[in-house]
Amino acid sequence: MSGSNFRPLLALSLLFAIGALMGLTSNLVKLASAAGWQPAAYLLWSLIGGGLLLLPFTWLRGERPGLSPRLLRYYLGSGLLSIALPNGLLFSSIPHVGAGFASMCLAFPPLFTYLLALALRMEGLSRLRLLGICIGLAGSLLLALGKLHSGDSPHVWVLAALCVPVILALGNIYRSRYWPSGASPLSLAPGMLFGGAVLLVPLMLLDVDLRPQWGDTTALGLLIGQMVLFAMVYALYFVLQDLAGAVFLSQIGSVAAITGAAMAIGLFGEQGSLTMLLAALCIVGGVLLVAWRSTQGDRG
């Protein structure tokens, strides 16, 4: 198989692998909350641990993260928009809205990412790609409106979860537009994780409990699992963005939406519905249209 034919297949494989891991994250957060973790503390220590796990790989591959002022700004910017803000809102909202709904909210970023990329002329107009994204968004909107009208969750937490995809879209654009020249994907991932962790520390000034739950075996196991997940997800995240671009990368959320919701129904007995099934079918169709367009060699 030639390199040009292998790239689309690799990109699609990474898309589904990362999306499935992100879907698993939503469900680990629900388990962690039940085990006594405060959302901010669980996120903070998971980010630190994930970054530390990635560092040996960067050293072994000779891709150590740089510490120049330009790179430090990039770590903080990407950490804010891709880690601290979206994950902080997501982790905090899951105990209130459920892992299934929170996962489905991750399907929204593609449209916002594509529209921002068009506005900034980072992508060209593709009718087929836009159609795929709109189909996926239509399914997600059905689900979100159903949740808002169901009355089983506080509206403030529903809206908080719905803010996550907007911030993720901004993060996708930021990472692409300001990608440091000459930096490898693996060298950037630990810096982004640590940047996100640093931005969470000021929460202590707001009297947020960031103490780790070291004494409980279950809580500790969930933390280690989340650390490994973060290390895997964000290392592959940068590889996929370098390979296929921000708009294709944004489809990760659609895969995470389906896998996370399916896990929530299977693991926690969360209520499924015909609306959720229709939404999932729309999202799958949208992902395949965008992915098919990308395999034709036009990333716009």
- Summarised one tens digit per residue, pLDDT across range 122-137 is 777 778 877 877 887 7
Average pLDDT, the chain: 81
127-150 and 155-177 helices, crossing angle to 10°: 160
Where residue 299 falls among pLDDT bands split at 50, 70, 90? very low
Q: Per mean pLDDT, which range of 147-151, 169-173, 229-233 is the poorest?
A: 147-151
Rounded to two decimals, the pTM is 0.80
Most confident of 142-146, 171-175, 234-238, 294-298: 171-175
CA triplet 253, 257, 263: central angle to 5 degrees? 135
- Give CA separation, 176 vs 48, 100, 281, in Å: 24, 29, 29
Residue 99 pLDDT greater than 60, yes or no: yes
Most confident of 80-84, 134-138, 150-154: 80-84
- Give the integer Cα–Cα distance in Å for 212 and 46: 10
Closest CA to 260 of 47, 105, 81, 97: 105
Looking at residue 278, its pLDDT comes to: 79
Looking at residue 273, the DSSP 8-state letter turns out to be: -
Determine contact, residues 262/29, Cβ cutoff 8 Å.
Answer: no
Residue 101 pLDDT greater than 80, yes or no: no
Residue 29 pLDDT greater than 80, yes or no: yes
Structural tokens at position 129: 């790609």
C-alpha 160 chain-centroid distance:
15
Helix (H) or strand (E) holding 154: none
Helix (H) or strand (E) holding 200: helix 185-200
Where residue 292 falls among pLDDT bands split at 50, 70, 90? low
Where residue 272 falls among pLDDT bands split at 50, 70, 90? low
